[in-house]
Every structure is written in structure tokens, then in C-alpha cells.
Amino acid sequence: DAKTTQPNSMESNEEEPVHLPCNHSTISGTDYIHWYRQLPSQGPEYVIHGLTSNVNNRMASLAIAEDRKSSTLILHRATLRDAAVYYCILRDVNYGGSQGNLIFGKGTKLSVKP
Amino acid sequence: DTGVSQNPRHKITKRGQNVTFRCDPISEHNRLYWYRQTLGQGPEFLTYFQNEAQLEKSRLLSDRFSAERPKGSFSTLEIQRTEQGDSAMYLCASSSSGTPNVLTFGAGSRLTVL
């Protein structure tokens, strides 16, 4: 699976939008972009995923660049509960021969100030 | 269904002892994963089951580690002759065949080896 690059940390104010970037310049045409987040003392939690088109769900929006070499996770109104480590992960739709292995990097630690 | 359940949540043991962790996945999920996470790092893949078959094992899964999923439901991860380097959070996750990359994680079992 191709590699992703994320900032180590970001800060946001409560009730403001947050844009979490992810670069994946070596993405292949069959790679899905997944986002997970991990709240303190909990296991990771699925947030959203997409292939080419922008995606929205109740948790967040995913904006994918036209060339797919970058994407942005958008939290529309950050709350204190959104303080977590956010992981951007690429996953080949055909698994690249490995069905079990989601490769987590270090992610972006998001802090939310009241 | 209350999600993925892991027990025990915390385990402190002395070097050289054996420990076993249990994971109860979401009942309709046929895929089960084990990951390990050390402080400040993202989760690292250990092994993956589809039903009762163990289909993938990471190089991280040394001979002292064994995982089973005997009836395709709950799974156990045993570590024999524990070493201090085994201290970590052990995470279990499950997913369905329909959405294989949407993993639901448990809260993890934290192991401390003294």
C-alpha cells in the first residue's frame, strides 16, 4: 500500500471547522482513502472513506483532490470530544495481496481548545 | 450488540509468565484482527482471521505468540514467556465481508511486563 504523510499535530478552537490534511502522492488508481481516529484510552474508530468523489457522513466530510494525491478530512464544528489522533490510511480495493493489514502511521494529534 | 469486547482490560505480569487475551467480535462479523500498539505509535498489524481460518500473520508475531479463533466467533491471543518488550496495548478488531476495510476496534487490553 502507498504511504501517507500527515502533520504531527494541529490545534483547533471549539465549534470551529477543522481541516486535517493528508498527502498521498504515490496513490494508485485502486487505493481507497480511509480515515480512522483514536480517542484517548480507546481503540481506533472508523470515520470515513472514499475513492474519488467527496464523501459526507454524520461524523465528517472527506474532500479528495482531483488528482487524488491529497485529501482533507473536515470536521465541520469541532467539539472537545473530537480531540484525538487522526489516521489517514490507503487501502487497495484488491487489498494488494494482504487482506488483514491496515497500515497506520503516527497520524495527526488534534487538540481542541474550549 | 455492544461492539467488540476485550478482556482483561489491563494485565500486569512478571517476565517469563504466559498471558492470554480474549476478544469477542461483533457477532455478524466474520473477520477478526489483532493489532499491537506501543506508546506514541499507530497500531501495528499482528494477525487476521476469516471465520476460523488464520489467513495472515505479521513478522511481529514471533513464535511466542499464538492466536486462535476455534469456532469462528471469539478469539484468544496468547503470549508465552513474556518479555518487557511485549508491554503494549493489544487491540482486537472485526469487520464484515461486505465492508472489509471498515474495522470496529475494541478498547484494547493493556499489558505491562515487569
Nearest to A98 among B50, B56, B103 (CB): B56
Give whichever of A99-113, B47-61, B77-91 has the largest mean pLDDT: B77-91
Average pLDDT over residues A27-51: 92
- Give the pLDDT score at A110: 98
Average pLDDT over residues A27-48: 92
- Asked if A107's CB is within 8 angstroms of B104's CB, the reply is no
The C-alpha cell at B78 is: 496468547
- Give the pLDDT score at B99: 72
Residue from B38, B103, B104, B110 whose CB has the most chain A CBs within 10 Å, to mutate? B103
Taking any CB pair shorter than 8 Å as contact, residues of chain B touching chain A are 4, 31, 33, 35, 40-45, 47-48, 50, 55-56, 58, 91, 93, 100-108
pLDDT 10s digits, A42-95 = 999 999 999 999 999 999 999 999 999 999 999 999 999 999 999 999 887 665
Measured CA to CA in angstroms, residue A111 lies from A4, A69, A85, B40 at distances of 21, 26, 9, 15
Task: Give the bridge partners for B13, in sequence order.
Answer: B113
pLDDT 10s digits, B13-43 = 999 999 999 999 999 999 999 999 999 899 9
- Give the pLDDT score at A38: 97
Q: What single-letter amino acid sits at B110?
A: R
For residues A39 and A45, is the Cβ–Cβ distance under 8 A? yes
| Chain B residues lying within 8 Å of A91, measured CB to CB | 101
CA dist., res. A47 & res. B91, Å (int): 18
Peptide bond into A44 cis (omega under 30): no
